[in-house]
A = this chain, B = another copy of it.
Amino acid sequence: MAGVSTAVVSYALNDRRGVSVATRERVLRVADELGWRPNPAARSMRAGAQAVGLAVVAGETLHGAPVLDVVAAFQRELLPRGLGVDLRVVADVAAAAELYRRWGAERRCDVVVVPEVRDDDVRLRVATDAGLRPVVVGPTEVAPGLAAVEVDDEDAYARVARYLASLGHVRIALVADPTDRLRTAACERGLRAATQDGTVALEIVPTDGTVEGAAGATRRLLTQAVRPTAVVLATDVMALAALDVARRTGLVVPWDVSVVAGADSVLCRLATPALTSLPSLATDLGEALARAVTGTLDAAAGDPPVRVPLAVGALAVRGSTSPQAH
């Protein structure tokens, strides 16, 4: 319809040199009239990437933030590049690795986002072996040599410990996510670094990451002969469970025990008392991920991996924490 060869059409549509302005405009006008759009299936056969793969283990968060909130910001940032996010919910890390193998074999994704990284995480090796480029989300210095968003959990939890110590708390406990996650280890390091002068006793209680696990751990902590006067919990829902346990144990929050949530949400604001919390990473993490992914796609061979640092903001102080009377 444009009166030119298919090669000229291809040059015009792909904005390559060798076509006059007038011809290009005629081709684009005709394409528009025909409702023509590039077929990503056809394009991906030659060009590779069309979507960023994100496999989330069922029940897990994206570094403590609600998955869909992060994905909303991430997708918004990727949209101008025409990149989508292929989001899957999988049963466990092994299922994620199996999905990477398939994505690699089918050339369905180029970049995969790997959240909640474990010690010796099988996903990193499998993703690389499958020809995918992993972008890891984890604490500072996670997965050296790979692209990553580095969240400064250690600094954030050090600030929590210093805040509680400044209120006079000398027995602090952390009800933590599973210990095989690098994020959990970083949080623990932060608390330890800020309390290493020996004036504060620190107790770390790992859980399976469920609300029931957090409730059980908190109950054990609060019914000990010598109990902590401040408890930090990894997530908002865990912290709600801790408030419930304190109530049932006959302890008043914050007078008998202070409670801190590791990630803020509307639930922290609605709780009674409202929960002192580290901020939610949702939007910031989505944007940082987009920078890490687009940087990785744009990198030339031999460039160092893209590392995007992400600081955790200031603690929101609410009614669940108070000075501790000795």
A residues apposed to B, CB below 8 Å: 35, 37-42, 44-45, 50, 56, 58, 67-68, 71-72, 75-76, 84-89, 91, 102, 105-108, 211, 237, 240-241, 243-244, 247, 266-267, 270, 272
Partner of A84, one of B39, B44, B68, B86: B86
Q: Which residues of B contact A72 (CB under 8 A)?
A: 58, 89
How distant is A270 from chain B, measured CB to nearest CB, in Å?
5
* With contact pairs A86-B86, A247-B272 given, residues A38 and B106 touching in the complex (Cβ less than 8 Å): yes
| Smallest beta-carbon distance A56→chain B, Å | 7
Q: Per DSSP, are chain A's interface residues mostly helix, strand or loop, or mixed?
A: helix
Residues of chain B contacted by A40 (CB below 8 angstroms): 106, 108
User: Shortest distance in angstroms between A119's beta carbon and chain B's nearest beta carbon?
Assistant: 25
The 3 closest A-B pairs by CB, nearest first: A72-B89, A37-B105, A41-B44
A35 / chain B contacts, CB cutoff of 8 Å: 105
What is the total number of copies of this protein in its complex?
A: 2
* Contact between chains at A237 and B267 (CB < 8 Å): yes
Contacts of A270 in B (CB 8 A): 211, 237, 240-241, 243-244
A247 (CB) vs chain B CBs: closest residue: B272
Q: Which residue of B lies closest to A72 (CB)?
A: B89
Minimum CB distance partner of A67 in chain B: B68
Contact A71 B89 (CB under 8 A): yes
CB distance from A289 to the nearest CB of B (A): 14
10 A-B residue pairs with Cβ-Cβ distance under 8 Å, sorted by A, are: A37-B105, A41-B42, A68-B89, A71-B89, A75-B89, A87-B87, A240-B267, A241-B270, A244-B272, A247-B272
Contact yes or no, A108 B68, CB < 8 A: no
Neighbouring B residues of A107 by C-beta, 8 Å: 39, 41
Which listed residue, B39, B105, B240, touches A106 by the CB 8 Å rule? Answer: B39
Distance between Cα atoms of A72 and B50 in the complex (Å)? 23
